[in-house]
Amino acid sequence: MNIFGHLFAVLFRQKTRITHRVWLLQLVAVLVTMIIVVWGTEITRDTLMNAFGLCFFLLFFVSNAIYLLVTCWQNEKFNRSQTWRLVPVKDRYIYLANTFSSFIAFVYLDVLEVIEFFLGLFCLYPASKYWLNETGQFIGKIFSGSEFGKAVEVACVLLLMGLAVYLIVSFLNFSQRALIDFWPAGSSKLVIFLTRLLLIIVVSWLVINGWQILAHLDANIEHVLFNIPYRYLPDYNNKINLSGDLGLFLLFDIVTLFLNMVLLDKFVEARPNN
């Protein structure tokens, strides 16, 4: 376990370098797009606050997608590295260290962006009574009673969706390599096609459920950013079952993680000069 802990620490340091670069890129992009949005308009503090909130939430999801894409590519390159397979631990532990170091660094990125958001609010708050009142009410609503539970459930589901991205990409890569290496050439193409079709169905399910959850978040964001009363927004609370989605995503991640470890141990060979 000491070797596993050291390996995880080394990989996490590598992933946090990507996290810092993506976060800095997102921060610069927020400032630039905010300037573009308010350019040529009457600049008031509330205008700046609206522009900051809009640009931040748009680029929040873009930066998370960029991080996931970059780290997914690096993870799959690492998973088949012959050099890293020389570490004196089982392949499954190397895979776990690789995947969860990326995931924890992904959570770290979100924490940095949340801190950035509140620092931006505090910098623009002092003379913006509208934002102070509205956001204060929103935060109070989130941290009161059942709303706090919903906020935690939404955060957990979104994080599990991020983890699912790593697991799906690894499963697609491992299953393809296993089929190509061990099935007869003629039948492997059909099996690979069916595997991809199954994965498309699974990914579609994830996207649909994720979209509903993001819609629920969007209702709260629009209420805060644009002062739209909840009665004019779709009632997303009654359309999604966060507890059910949380359980489904957790079960999906556990099963996919187990399958990936089996595929890696039994079928996936390391690749030299990686």
Domain ranges for the chain, please list them: 2-266
Which residues are CB-contacts of 204 (< 8 A; sequence separation ≥ 6)?
Answer: none
CB half-sphere exposure, 236, CA atoms < 13 A: 19
Per-residue pLDDT of the chain (274 residues; tens, 9 = 90+): 588 888 899 999 999 999 999 999 999 998 888 888 778 776 666 677 778 878 888 899 899 999 999 999 999 888 877 777 777 888 888 999 999 999 999 999 999 998 888 888 777 765 455 555 655 665 665 566 555 666 677 778 788 888 988 998 888 888 777 776 666 655 556 766 776 677 677 767 766 666 565 555 555 444 444 444 444 344 444 444 566 667 777 888 898 899 999 888 877 776 665 4
First CA to last CA across the chain, in angstroms? 26
Q: Which SS3 state, helix, strand or coil, does residue 36 take?
A: helix
The alpha helices in 80-90, defined as continuous H runs, are none
Contact 19, 108 (CB under 8 A): yes
- Report the alpha-carbon distance of residue 85 to residue 121 in Å, rounded: 46
Is pTM beyond 0.85? Reply is: no
Contact 47, 92 (CB under 8 A): no
